[in-house]
Amino acid sequence: MITVACGSENGEPVTNTPTPSPTPSTFEELIELGNVRFERTFYASAVKAFEAAYRLNPDSPEVFLLRGITYNRLGEYKLAIADFNQVLRMIPEEDEAFYERGSAFGNLNSVDQARDDFSRAININPEDPRYFNARGFSYASAGKYEEALGDYDKAVLLDPSFGIVYANRAVVHAIVGNDEAADKDLLLADETGIGSDILREEVRLIRSQRESSPVESE
């Protein structure tokens, strides 16, 4: 904030400062503050706002969900899982909690638990392409390439503009030797703004490795 000093009638400088915004004090205001900080990627500050909201309403599943998502972005995956567990005790059919908990498990290399959570999210809400993309990635990580491709196909059917799916699918196509399909997905990734030289180099290296050591899909 820039403070501007101006001359007063008696020659003394005065400071022009804006009237400070009121400090958020209600549960709703603190949730809004946390969301604003989250959107600006101020994740540690967002956690503090959600914790203040929790102190006002410790029985709100919304607080646990939002704080858990923020912990995920901070890489605090065990703390995130604890928050999502709390959400699911309160709302057993909360698909977003399953999805985010699956992401946390995946980042902790608990692939089977991640895939189980993504499957639960899909069972609750089969219209969200993120869930299919995430489960597809977990299948690919476990070497289950046909299952991964099936989930990626479902994701782009739900949202043809979901660019990251084309990138993920291109990699799997390259692994199993579907070079024409991989090239097509690379183009689709470019069209959706996800393509990059790094992705193309990854696909090239996979092809080179495949030629020297063929990989069979399960």
Q: Write out the two tokens for 35.
A: 């969301």
Residue range(s) of every CATH 1.25.40.10 domain in the chain: 25-125
pLDDT beyond 90 at 72:
yes
170, 198 contact by CB (below 8 A): no
Q: Write out the two tokens for 98.
A: 């399953």
Q: Report pLDDT digits (tens) over 90-106.
A: 999 999 999 999 999 99
- What is the C-alpha separation between 164 and 118, in angstroms, rounded? 17
For residue 6, the SS3 value is strand
State the pTM of this model.
0.84
Q: Report pLDDT digits (tens) over 104-148.
A: 999 999 999 999 999 999 999 999 999 999 999 999 999 999 999
Q: Which CATH number fits domain 25-125: 1.25.40.10, 1.20.120.1150, 3.40.190.10, 1.10.10.10?
A: 1.25.40.10
- What is the C-alpha separation between 49 and 73, in angstroms, rounded? 15
